[in-house]
Chain A
Amino acid sequence: MIRKALFTFVCLALLAACAPSATPAPAPSATPLPPDPSIVLSDGLGRSVSLPGPAASVVSLAPSNTEILFAVGAGAQVVGRDLFSDYPAEALAVQDIGGSMGEYDLEAIVALQPDLVLAQAGGFNSPELIAALEGLGLTVYALPNPSTLEEMYANLETVGTLTGHVQEATDLVAALQARLAAVDAAIAPLSARPSVYYELDASNPAAPYTAGSGSFVDQLIARAGGFNIGSQLESQWAAISVEQLLVADPMIILLGDAAYGETPEKVAARPGWETLAAVQSGRVYAFDDNLVSRPGPRLVDGLEALVRLLHPGLLP
């Protein structure tokens, strides 16, 4: 009996909790408050990061972050950048704060006294590093690692907000979206989808690495009107056996590892590769991997470069 009464009580209480609240929402105050310059944003590690105002000095811990900072017009605020940040050329003049093997020069970062350290979540910067920087009294924002172009746009706007370049970031996103729409419109009527093999690393030519499903390379090849033969592979950085490659017989080979010395001539000389359609028709191209591996605004440059190679003459 008591149990039944208790049950009823609990049900009623739950109903009451679910019922819409009767109290009206507080009316917006009549006099607008002066705009509060402080910024509170949630970052890629789920931390809430607050800044008293837009950061006047920023240390970038990843090449994509550096590219975004310069692209939204915050280049002059960058006081330190990691070893791998080599674009745009102005970034090379900024102080190098290390980053090989994930080891940054913490002393140099502290000495720069930046308002903000822009890190990257998702494997590039370890959570231990971010905790250490925080422990030194620095404000760290870990930019989420985007997996789609839309998420990359969101990062551009986030960096615009953090550095006080909201308008530039909005304009940049609009411009990128327009270029993307132009590509989509040009590709839509095409029926042919050339098959593409994108090489990431051929240190072991018997099992080279290619970009698998989920990677930006895979998405951009599809968007550029091609078929990535690596799209069947589960990993973003996937080893493909040469036997599979010969069966797939790609029409186009893109050498993302051109920076490591791979050339169309070397590819043609690999045993068995001379039978590939791409090699016989001479459609083996060096490709700037930085355009598709760094999650920043240059992904759209990468997309256009892919369209030019896959469908020559399609874009002006």
Chain B
Amino acid sequence: MENTISEFGKVFIFLALGVVLVVGGFITSRLLRPFRPNTEKMTTYECGEEPVGSSWVQFNIRFYVIALIFIIFDVEILFLFPWATIYKQLGTFALVEALIFIGILLVGLAYAWVKGDLEWVRPNPNVPQLPTKKFEKMPARPEASLLSLVESITPASASESSLPKV
């Protein structure tokens, strides 16, 4: 009888077995364990404090950049696998070809490095700022205190009539 189940078929059966095992353990514990919820138990753990807000919030953009660079290099490695499999048959030609391929990608890595995308802690973060030079050129106000500010806003006559004389 010829072999009708391929090796991948066996892998598939093993995967199915894995699912059965994992889900089986899950269901067993569901049958055994108690279920006595109360409000205190069901709150999110925040070191004993009342949880503040949801945690489904924005997170740091750097994780995103790392993921992007990862994709590029992961695809590169995938391209290297077929190259590696027949490397000994191709010899010098394959070596030169891979050198060019890896070289181009190294330029990409160098670019990300120089741009500072590989730095986790940036010594000089590039925080966007308003152009303040125009305001700096204006003459500074002579009076700085709050009282003088109020006097400058309110008309002189009004302030005299409403405020009691000291």
Do A and B assemble together?
no
